Structure 1
Amino acid sequence: MMNPLLTKYACTLLNVLIFVFCCTTIHAQDAKTRLYDLYDEVEEYEDSLRSAGEETAFSTFSIAEREEQDQYWKEKLERLSEIDRGALEWGDRVSYDLFERDLLREIQDHEFADYLVPINHEGGFHTRIVGRANSADPESVEEYEKYIARLKSVPKYFEGNMELMRKGLATGQTLPQKVLTDDYKVMMTSQIVDDPTQSDFYKPFQEFPTSISQDERQRLRKEGWVAIQEAVVPAYQDFLDFMEEEYMPGARESIAITDLPGGEKYYNFLVQYYTTLDLSPREIHQIGLEEVKRIRSEMEAIIKDVEFEGTFDEFLQFLRTDPQFYVEEPEQLLKEATYIAKRMDGQLPRLFNMMPRKPYGVEPVPAHLAPRYTGGRYSPADGETDAGNYWVNTYDLDSRPLYTLEALTFHEAVPGHHLQIALAKELDLPEIRREAGVTAFVEGWALYSERLGLEAGFYQDPYSNFGRLTYEMWRACRLVVDTGMHALGWSRERAVQFMTENTALSHHEINTEINRYIAVPGQALAYKIGELKIRELREKAEQELGDNFDVRKFHDAVLLNGPVPLTALEQNIEDYIEKTKTEAEKEDET
């Protein structure tokens, strides 16, 4: 018979343990509830900022309003820090980290006053509203009248942004002069039309829903025509005059963000923000140099295999100029890209267990963006009735070689951006995990996807395989030139020369890319750093699992938790390896 005293102690201990367990569970649940309630509160606030006044007017925020927003972000960061992260489960800790990351970015951007530069190398406030006009689809007389009201608000909207840019001129916070070349003006001159019916902003008036009467159509067309003629076109002309007479002559000559007050701190923040790893600019620069050396040796092996008689530079020149590598009509390039994409679609089941339900299309880059745009881009679906789109740049076809088209397609469409982004949106995860803009993950996956083409039987043509390598080299060069220009004193000319000597990209693309790295510091580092981490984790899984490695299950482990920081991805793969080992051991026992 058990000692009564021991029985009493055992019951007391059991009650204490139950109490502690319940308190811990309640605390964890409370932390989770507070986290997502705070996130929903911030999302609601951000929605209000996005829609503020924009039903009937385009608007920008004054500096005073931005100061209020900064205080809001700081207050929310303080409230987030009061939530016990350690009490959260793994997935919720990832949500916490993503939320904290976004709040810190808002605060750092404001501290550096990045709002004084509302334009970048390929557009800005003046091109965003063109994109919105191209996608506008009014369905009632009331919606058309709101659209016309927004057109009438364009002059005030432009003036608000020009006021910010003038303040930037006074403090040196501008785009560098070397990014503002003559072709930059095309984004303004393309909207300065003599005939308003030729304007992008007139597109909603070309076709009307059948529910709108002919009389109303005629009235709305006239009012839209007048708004474009009297508000939109003069606003673009004023902005062009401002750019030519004030901004471009007064813009800073330095290209390095670190030359600006607080620039070194901001660049170091951006490096860690985009890569999600604790790496310094100099460490990344060295990684880039090592990758350039490795990839260069693989490129030289292909040159030897095709029996080209000449130097490396001469081979690159051959690729940039020989007509066999280029098409003459935009439709040809679109057809080639579409054919490659459909062939890859047929190979996806070999590589993936789960694929998105959402389809994608192939479209040219919109004309108002094309001159300053890269070779291609992925445009996610806007709504339930839309597909994703793989945009192919058909501008300046002499700079769009066929030998890079396979790599470009796998990066932007499948198995790259479309597969990953569309699948993430369909996962049963909190919104912050589905929508997270973790560049190192998203772009690292897309670059990794270029290499998956080898496993799917592509790159049979040695020139196409060289194109794959030149795309990989391009991303390796980014590690060198981005850090070189912003942290190590490189000139723009030195960066252009480095990429010219090491990639088969056209001169147009190289110049476009260098402008991008200058205008958006740090972002381009994410691609190669992310890809290297995914490849490192795959090699680890292959080595530890041996015959039990299944590439489809590995891809599940990478993709089915949504886009996460690389440290969280590393934990995902560690868990996948241990789980697979345990399952294999159980099978062996039976």
Structure 2
Amino acid sequence: MMRKISVITTMFCALFFIQCKKDHDKTDFTALCKSYFDDKSALNPLDATVYGQNQYNAELLFEMTDAHRRAQAKFFEKYANAIATVDYSALTDDEKISCDIIKWEVSIGKEMLKYPTNLMPVNQFTGTHLNMGMFAGGTSSQPFKTEKDYRNFLSRMDKFSIWIDSAMVYMKKGVQKGYVLPKALTLKVIPQFEELITEKPEDNLYYSAIKIMPADFPDDVKKQLAAQYAQTISEKLVPQFRKMAAYLKTDYLAASRNTSGISSLPMGKETYATWAKNWTTTEKTPDEIHKLGLQQVAALKAEMEKIRIKVGFKGSMKDFLNDLRNNRRLMPFSTPEQVLAHFDSIYNRIKPNVGKLFSMTPKTLFEIRRTEAFREKSASAEYIQGAADGTRPGIFYVPVPDAKTYNVLQDEDLFLHEAIPGHHFQVSIQQENNALPDFRKFNWFGAYGEGWALYTESLGKELGLYTDPYQYMGMLSAEMHRAIRLVVDTGIHTKGWTREQAIRYSLDNEAETEASIISEIERYMAVPGQALSYKIGQLKILELREKAKKQLGTRFDIREFHKKVLESGVMPLELLEAKLDAWMQQ
């Protein structure tokens, strides 16, 4: 009897030890995920503010400096080593996805540090100077509710004045090494700084938060903050804006290149291949992507031809596209308020049908707003995510520089992509999922995120839209726009295409206005590879949907498919496919 008890006790202790080890491994991995997120946020304080990590609200990223790049390299090495010690077999399925995401990010991050892209720290499409401008408006991600909030941004403004000096230092290094922006982009950056130069601090964008100061602040605090903001604007920011604008207009513009693609720069082709990998999360080569784009353009042309015939347009497709750009019936508005009301009406039309396609919807509130004046001329419609704690809604920004020439052709499609069920659903559901580690709740992969948003454009008819053939043509034209991106982005950066050649190709194949197409082409020139993510991701999600329909047959439920795609947040496409394959097999 004693012998039996001894054996049983020994077995129990062994099992207990194994379980304890598993629990220990799990705790270690949970701690690793937390540490990874904390370190990542500290390296990217502006992103941290967007994600509601308010402990970083006074900090600023000096992303172009050698010191920051050394910190990035140290970060990647730290977590490459840490992830190598994890017992992968002991992780849950969702933890394995987390582990694989960290591996992927660390690997691509190390690869991207090989290239001197920090020598071009400003462009007209994205960057710290534009993000700071949005924050300064007082209604974006930077909170302005407490005195501490105001002092945080005051500190950030002070650092931003120093950031401008750092940017110019590295731009000058870029000039010496021939690593500079194309002239067309430099010309677009100049007014972005010039428009921030004001004689009176009260007229400056960076004074906006003072004008919306909470009424319950004590009078002496209000006066002090107003005086400090005015002093920082007058003595630090405006002189720096003048300095940057003058440098851009003289030395930098003279040194700016006449070529359009990054392949003309040192290590340009290798840089682009890495950026393409980063944005698509695939191993597709630029040449493969270019050929895929040409195939997609041809297929969509055939669909667009059907609409031309349906509406009875007698001219060629090229004539039809020109008519869509200039048709006054598609420009019915005279004020920006009418444009915003139009998007409200689209929102109201889809609301009754959302439940037919989605069993999982976000709690985060949603708003439609006009893009701020300082960036409206060069901005595209966009979605800015809400705060995970619900304190800030998700915002769909619509630029309306001229309401009288605003074309409604793609508005239904645009709303689905940027708002609901596109980015607002995907980002909010991800942020609200408390089962995910924070680094995944607040993460982004272009191929998944933009791929999802483009995929949702195809859901319009099921949501009660595209009853007008012109709006359906708008959807096809928007999809064509993303197919064209595969062609022109790779064309510009690997095949020697000029800016003008890319503009002409776009004009010949889609209904966007020439002004819009020029902005788009210059966007691709500024951020190589980013535009590839949309179509690559969409095609993968469509492929997985068809695969699920075929394998599951009558058991296929579109609501369940969408739930499986959205529930775990963004990830490289290979991991998404593995996740959905496992679901289909179950």
TM-score by length of 2: 0.90
Query: Equivalent residue for 1:41?
Result: 35
- Partner of residue 255 from structure 2, selected from 216, 235, 250: 250
Pairwise CA distance, 1:235:
1.1
- Partner of residue 115 from structure 1, selected from 94, 114, 118: 118
The alpha-carbon distance between structure 1 residues 573 and 59, as it changes in their structure 2 partners (threshold 3 A), is closer
Q: Secondary structure at the match of 1:390?
A: strand
After superposition, residues 193-272 of structure 1 pair within 5 angstroms as 193-272=198-277
- Partner of residue 409 from structure 1, selected from 415, 423, 443: 415
Q: Name the count of aligned residue pairs.
A: 568
Distance in 1, matches of 2:266 and 2:24, equals: 42
Q: Secondary structure at the match of 2:244?
A: helix
Pairwise CA distance, 1:421:
1.0
After superposition, residues 88-487 of structure 1 pair within 5 angstroms as 88-135=91-138, 136-139=142-145, 144-145=150-151, 147-181=153-187, 183-326=188-331, 327-374=333-380, 376-382=381-387, 383-397=389-403, 400-427=406-433, 428-487=435-494
Query: Equivalent residue for 2:52?
Result: none
- How much identity, in percent, do the aligned residues show? 30
Amino acid aligned to 1:364: R
**1:27 touches 1:87 (CA, 8 Å); kept in 2?**
no
The alpha-carbon distance between structure 1 residues 221 and 462, as it changes in their structure 2 partners (threshold 3 A), is same
Pairwise CA distance, 1:461:
0.8
Pairwise CA distance, 1:358:
1.2
Distance in 2, matches of 1:57 and 1:76, equals: 23
Is the aligned partner of 1:510 residue 2:545?
Answer: no
Amino acid aligned to 1:265: E
Pairwise CA distance, 1:268:
1.8
Deviations 1:354-391 (A, max 9, x none): 111112010011222211112x1111013521111111
Is the aligned partner of 1:74 residue 2:77?
Answer: yes
Query: Equivalent residue for 1:554?
Result: 561
Deviations 1:240-297 (A, max 9, x none): 0011112222123332223333332232222222222221111111111111111100
* More moved, 140-149 vs 19-28: 19-28
The alpha-carbon distance between structure 1 residues 350 and 230, as it changes in their structure 2 partners (threshold 3 A), is same
Q: Secondary structure at the match of 2:266?
A: coil
The alpha-carbon distance between structure 1 residues 397 and 571, as it changes in their structure 2 partners (threshold 3 A), is same
Q: Secondary structure at the match of 1:93?
A: helix
Pairwise CA distance, 1:17:
10
Distance in 2, matches of 1:231 and 1:314, equals: 52
**1:140 touches 1:211 (CA, 8 Å); kept in 2?**
no
Distance in 1, matches of 2:506 and 2:12, equals: 64
The alpha-carbon distance between structure 1 residues 43 and 365, as it changes in their structure 2 partners (threshold 3 A), is same
Distance in 2, matches of 1:558 and 1:151, equals: 40
Pairwise CA distance, 1:339:
0.9
Deviations 1:47-68 (A, max 9, x none): 3344599776756264234324
**2:112 touches 2:275 (CA, 8 Å); kept in 1?**
no
- Partner of residue 567 from structure 1, selected from 551, 555, 574: 574
Distance in 2, matches of 1:563 and 1:143, equals: 30
* More moved, 170-179 vs 360-369: 170-179
Query: Equivalent residue for 1:583?
Result: none
Distance in 2, matches of 1:396 and 1:190, equals: 18
The alpha-carbon distance between structure 1 residues 321 and 203, as it changes in their structure 2 partners (threshold 3 A), is same
The alpha-carbon distance between structure 1 residues 349 and 246, as it changes in their structure 2 partners (threshold 3 A), is same
Across the aligned residues of Structure 1 and Structure 2, the Cα RMSD in angstroms comes to 2.8
Structure 2 regions of 5+ residues with no counterpart?
Answer: 47-54
The alpha-carbon distance between structure 1 residues 154 and 569, as it changes in their structure 2 partners (threshold 3 A), is closer
Distance in 2, matches of 1:20 and 1:511, equals: 68
Distance in 1, matches of 2:14 and 2:312, equals: 74
Amino acid aligned to 1:196: P
Amino acid aligned to 2:561: F
**2:297 touches 2:480 (CA, 8 Å); kept in 1?**
yes
* More moved, 433-442 vs 192-201: 433-442
Distance in 2, matches of 1:57 and 1:281, equals: 37
The alpha-carbon distance between structure 1 residues 36 and 254, as it changes in their structure 2 partners (threshold 3 A), is farther
Distance in 2, matches of 1:522 and 1:193, equals: 36
Deviations 1:548-573 (A, max 9, x none): 22111111121122222222222232
Amino acid aligned to 2:29: L
Pairwise CA distance, 1:70:
1.7
The alpha-carbon distance between structure 1 residues 20 and 175, as it changes in their structure 2 partners (threshold 3 A), is farther
Distance in 2, matches of 1:447 and 1:143, equals: 36
Query: Equivalent residue for 1:5?
Result: none
Pairwise CA distance, 1:434:
2.5
Query: Equivalent residue for 1:64?
Result: 67
Pairwise CA distance, 1:31:
4.7
* More moved, 393-402 vs 558-567: 393-402
Pairwise CA distance, 1:179:
2.1
Distance in 2, matches of 1:141 and 1:261, equals: 48
Distance in 2, matches of 1:502 and 1:338, equals: 30
Distance in 2, matches of 1:502 and 1:491, equals: 17
Structure 1 regions of 5+ residues with no counterpart?
Answer: 1-7, 580-590
* More moved, 255-264 vs 46-55: 46-55
Amino acid aligned to 1:249: A
**2:273 touches 2:286 (CA, 8 Å); kept in 1?**
yes
**2:37 touches 2:439 (CA, 8 Å); kept in 1?**
no
The alpha-carbon distance between structure 1 residues 22 and 147, as it changes in their structure 2 partners (threshold 3 A), is closer
Pairwise CA distance, 1:236:
0.7
Distance in 2, matches of 1:56 and 1:540, equals: 48
The alpha-carbon distance between structure 1 residues 29 and 394, as it changes in their structure 2 partners (threshold 3 A), is same
Q: Secondary structure at the match of 2:368?
A: strand
Deviations 1:145-199 (A, max 9, x none): 5544544454323112211211122222222223223x43221121111222111
Query: Equivalent residue for 1:489?
Result: 496
Q: Secondary structure at the match of 1:303?
A: helix
Distance in 2, matches of 1:473 and 1:278, equals: 23
Deviations 1:53-110 (A, max 9, x none): 9776756264234324423322322332333434433222211121122223432332
